[in-house]
Copies of this chain bind each other. A is one copy, B any other.
């Protein structure tokens, strides 16, 4: 019970603590500011533990980004399932996106990974994968091009929330998605051209 106890013996748990601490820090201070010392302090483990479990800082970074990626992947899966309930409609998607904006952690995780992706090709795979997955469950209903545009817009919404204090209204999101996903009824020739493209 005393704090003086020096050693635990639960490698799995410890490894997880370290990765979790690293992931948190990446979200808070950015992937480039990660150090062994900060991770150790955050995880409440001795410095040596961080190098015991990860041969290099880069390995640790990779594991932490992997953990964030898994988190985001899980969130996308969840969204995919929710979409079935809500419907792949502008209103349904807007509701989910807007609800997602309240989960700061999830958005920050996403933003952190995408940011890391800019300088790291391996990480870029994740970002592309998610992009494709989101397109994947919108496309069957609205076509690939509109689905892609919607995914791009949703990405913009997430970034917006990172820069601005006030999140976007659900209504604004819904209207924009409606415009993106709905074929323009005005000039039928245009929609025909788009469909054939």
Chain A residues proximal to chain B, CB less than 8 Å: 29-33, 87, 89-90, 111, 114-115, 117-119, 124, 127-128, 131, 141-142, 145-146, 148-149, 152-157, 159-160, 162-164, 168-169, 171-176, 178-195, 197
Q: Are B190 and A171 in contact (CB under 8 A)?
A: no
Inter-chain pairs besides A118-B163, A181-B194, A185-B186, 12 sampled, C-beta below 8 Å: A118-B162, A145-B172, A149-B153, A149-B173, A153-B176, A171-B197, A178-B179, A178-B190, A180-B180, A182-B194, A186-B191, A187-B195
Known pairs A145-B172, A160-B155; A181 contacts B179 (CB<8 A): yes
Taking CB atoms, residues of chain B closer than 8 Å to A173 are 149
